[in-house]
Amino acid sequence: MQANGAAQNRESDVSCRNGAPNGESSSSGAAHSNGPLPAVNNGGSAVNNGAASEGAAGARKKKHLSQSEEDVIRLIGQHLHDLGLNQTVDLLMKESGCRLEHASATKFRNHVLDGEWDKADSDLNELKALMHSPSAVVRMKFLLLQQKYLEFLEDGKVLEALQVLRAELTPLKFNTERIHILSGYLMCSHAEDLRAKAEWEGKGLASRTKLLDRLQSECSLSNPAPFQPFASFPYLPPSVMLPPRRLHTLLKQAVELQREHCLYHNTKLDGGLDGGLDSVSLLLDHSCSRKQFPCYTQQILTEHCNEVWFCKFSNNGTKLATGSKDTTVIVWQVNMETQQLKQIRTLEGHAYGVSYLTWSPDDTYLIACGPDDCSELWLWNVQTGELRTKMSQSHEDSLTCVAWNPDGKRFVTGGQRGQFYQCDLDGNLLDSWEGVRVQCLGCLSDGRTVLASDTHQRIRGYNFEDLTDRNIVQEDHPIMSFTISKTGSLALLNVATQGVHLWDLQDRVLVRKYQGVTQGFYTIHSCFGGHNEDFIASGSEDHKVYIWHRRSELPIAELTGHTRTVNCVSWNPILPGLLASASDDGTVRIWGPAPFLDVEEVEGFGNASVNISECSRSECVCRGEQVTAGRFPDSSILFGSGPKFACFVGCKEMDSKRCWPWT
């Protein structure tokens, strides 16, 4: 493998020297000195600069390259070299007068890839003066000798490997812990066992290329991998040897930065930094349309006959549970392809209504709680529809909130009358904490810490194992509800009269206050959602659903359609484009991206004189917005219960609407 084509012996400076004298270029393609190239006539032979005309000499004069221009040329050269276009690299370097890398670095690279460890060690001594830190030579030698040692072991040359361990690695007096691990590999019975235990690709180009990458890249000390146990800095400065695939890395960073700043980006970052760029275009800036975001009503669930207080998708995203003042819990099946919901089960008997629901970690069970006056808790088996446990410790209790332990075998529950219990699946009391007036609960992933908001406008962490507690969040107003991110590092609070606040639970600081939502003293539940939980949604007392990007205080979407307070929102954890909202108007709305039919398509149909016919409210659902003739607003594209209809609103009156049959 060569950096600049076929040339093997190249003595050069590290970077371009455009002011240097003219160099010589041999017919074999060897590298030239920095500076203007010799003149070439039509026959291909070199001519003396003095013999050329003054105009031709001016045309041949090189432009002085800035440092950034030199860097770009080197990046392009490295990328072309990785593609195997070595002759193109030679021509680029020759015409620009730049060097892809130092000659000693080229020799070092070739010797590493060829497994010539003694020569590579000698190359390091040449490179020592060019390194940021002379002590880096020891670290680099350690990596080289580690590869040499493992290759001897894989080849069955145990004595040679032992010699490397004793006479070369140990005298370095570096990373003795790693040396002890390496010595244990002497006990491996066969090559496959060695590769598995060492997490190593085996002797060959793959492992040696990775070794070169480590020698060129920064190595992190904070959680080191087996082959990255060193300090955080590049061993070889980029002026000597570029970091691996540097142009590719810069492009990936640019794409990801654009995606991070895209307000509506709600899909997986394809490929990641380690993946390819094939799924994106580098010719245009990244931009997602609002039509791809869950801002459009896909379905309205009207089976509840009273206020709907809570909704929650299951952890696997295949079900939605809704709780209502009508004393029922309805479980809905989510079609993961069409994203349509269908009622599959109704759980009845909650005399006080259902104000809170939570799924067990494996989605087998569903716990339902009631409002303040309710002293009972219901634990349902969702798969069978059977009530497993109906728990009540005392008729004076108020069990209004609940949270599952990550092990799925325990849960905690409590209320504002001072009850705070930990129970098993049969409702047996395991532990209790006296005198804590609980408003909302959450369990962290460590399985020990329970977060509870109380009447003192705070969230405290409680450990039921050692009976310790500590303050984590302190607000100036009552905390009506909160939810925890999947990572357990962030908490989203609905604070009375203040709105939605984001807290960092590790640093215990307020990160952001989100604007727009109307939050009084009603209990409203917000949620994290979207891909990577980049978004936040909340209901509101002004009948809207608000959505923010996690980094932005201003809402990026305000969803209208409900006619009374929106009590709860839930984002599907698997389908990032599916959102549910529950309201006092007795409905649950399912929000998704816009249907495929857009404005241009509708106007095209209009030019073809498509027949527009009347339809009743039972055939399709219309948002009721005033629109201009011939236009088709995004928010009016909805799904009907039968045939799909594209709905138009002819005037402000809800009963006067015209619908376009969508076949």
Q: How far is CA 231 from CA 37, 146, 221, 222, in A?
A: 42, 17, 5, 9
Q: Is 520 a residue whose pLDDT tops 50?
A: yes
341 pLDDT band (50/70/90 cuts)? very high
Q: What percent of the chain has pLDDT over 70?
A: 76
Average pLDDT over residues 492-519: 95
Taking CA 602 as the corner, what is the angle to CA 597 and CA 605, rounded to the nearest 5 degrees? 125
Range name among 374-378, 458-462, 500-504 with the lowest pLDDT average? 374-378
Q: How far apart are CA 642 and CA 649, in angstroms?
A: 19
pLDDT value, residue 203: 93
Per the model's pLDDT, the better-predicted residue between 199 and 602 turns out to be 199
Residue type, 465: E
Range name among 200-204, 263-267, 430-434, 654-658 with the lowest pLDDT average? 654-658
Q: How far apart are CA 496 and CA 347, in angstroms?
A: 31
pLDDT value, residue 10: 38
Structure confidence by residue, pLDDT tens digits, 404-438: 999 999 999 998 888 889 999 998 999 888 878 89
Q: How far apart are CA 278 and CA 275, in angstroms?
A: 9
Q: What is the mean pLDDT of the chain?
A: 79
350 pLDDT band (50/70/90 cuts)? very high
pLDDT value, residue 648: 38
Strand pairing partners for 453?
Answer: 440, 459
pLDDT value, residue 131: 77
Structure confidence by residue, pLDDT tens digits, 579-627: 999 999 999 999 999 886 444 333 333 333 233 333 333 333 443 333 3
Q: Is 561 a residue whose pLDDT tops 90?
A: yes
Structure confidence by residue, pLDDT tens digits, 77-113: 999 998 999 999 999 999 999 988 888 888 998 999 9
Per the model's pLDDT, the better-predicted residue between 418 and 486 turns out to be 486
Structure confidence by residue, pLDDT tens digits, 370-390: 998 888 999 999 999 999 999
Q: Parallel, antiparallel, or unpaired for β 468-474 and 429-432? A: unpaired
pLDDT value, residue 134: 67
pLDDT value, residue 128: 82
Strand pairing partners for 367?
Answer: 358, 379
H-type alpha helices, 302-380: none
pLDDT value, residue 662: 34
Token reading at 169: 């690695």
Q: How far apart are CA 183 and CA 198, in angstroms?
A: 11
Domain definitions of the chain by residue range? 101-216, 290-592
223 pLDDT band (50/70/90 cuts)? very low
Structure confidence by residue, pLDDT tens digits, 225-281: 444 444 345 667 788 888 888 898 899 888 888 888 888 888 875 444 444 577 677
pTM higher than the cut 0.85: no
Instruction: State whether residue 332 is helix, strand or coil.
Output: strand
Q: Is 55 a residue whose pLDDT tops 60?
A: no
The structural architecture, per CATH, of the domain 290-592 is 7 Propeller (2.130)
pLDDT value, residue 103: 87
Average pLDDT over residues 543-570: 95
578 pLDDT band (50/70/90 cuts)? very high
Q: Is 346 a residue whose pLDDT tops 50?
A: yes
Backbone angles phi, psi at 486, to 5 degrees: -60, -35
Range name among 183-187, 284-288, 303-307, 585-589 with the lowest pLDDT average? 284-288
444 pLDDT band (50/70/90 cuts)? very high
pLDDT value, residue 244: 83
The answer to whether 505 and 472 have CB atoms below 8 angstroms apart is yes
Task: Report CA torsion sign: 46, 49, 52, 56.
Answer: positive
First-to-last alpha carbon distance for the chain, in angstroms, is 60
